[in-house]
Amino acid sequence: MKADPGDGFRAAPCPADVPSVRALVAATGFFSPEEIAVAAELVEERLAKGPASGYEFRFADEPGRLAGYSCFGRIPLTTASYDLYWIVVAPSTQRRGLGRRLLAATEAAVAALGGQRLFAETSSRLLYAPTRAFYLGCGYREAARFDDFYAPGDGKVVFEKRLATG
């Protein structure tokens, strides 16, 4: 199991990541219990099926805890488009550049897998304004907006970044 893909982040999940991801996602205060469960389930899926799961990860470890992680994968029925399913950084670690480094490592991993575009979606609620600013600040553009997607008054905002190839 390769621990470090060369960018300082761990790529391979381990069983301890299931509760760590659950706790990390819950600690942000952004996600519902259902969303928290899904985040943990994606790690379980990767552990059970390996690369066939379609889920890839980058984990940012600090002594004794998970400081952040990303989960991404190729969008089914596409040849070079990837979804960023999750990028989460511990509240105590935010505003120190870890999210940007983690996103850059994710983008590099996607490009290495042949990906040319990375999509990220988030909520249009005010709570997610810093998330939307983060994507814009990292070179993403707003590609689509769906009003009332998640719930009345809670739209879906899709960001896109074209990745450098070759």
Helix (H) or strand (E) holding 121: strand 117-123
State residue 161 phi and psi, 5-degree precision: -135, 130
Average pLDDT of the residues of the chain: 92
What are the tens digits of pLDDT across the range 118-133? 999 999 999 999 999 9
- The pTM is what? 0.91
User: Looking at residue 119, what is its pLDDT?
Assistant: 98
Per the DSSP assignment, residues forming a β-bridge with 144 are: 158
**Checking DSSP bridges between strand 81-89 and strand 65-74, what pairing results, if any?**
antiparallel
User: Looking at residue 123, what is its pLDDT?
Assistant: 95
Which of the four pLDDT bands, split at 50, 70 and 90, describes residue 6?
A: low
User: Looking at residue 3, what is its pLDDT?
Assistant: 46
The pLDDT of 96-124, averaged and rounded, is 94
Scanning 11-50, the segments in alpha helix (DSSP H) are 17-27, 33-49
**Checking DSSP bridges between strand 65-74 and strand 141-151, what pairing results, if any?**
unpaired
Options 3.40.50.10420, 3.40.630.30, 2.60.40.10, 3.40.50.300; CATH of 17-162: 3.40.630.30
The residue ranges of every structural domain in the chain are: 17-162
Higher per-residue pLDDT: 30 or 49: 49
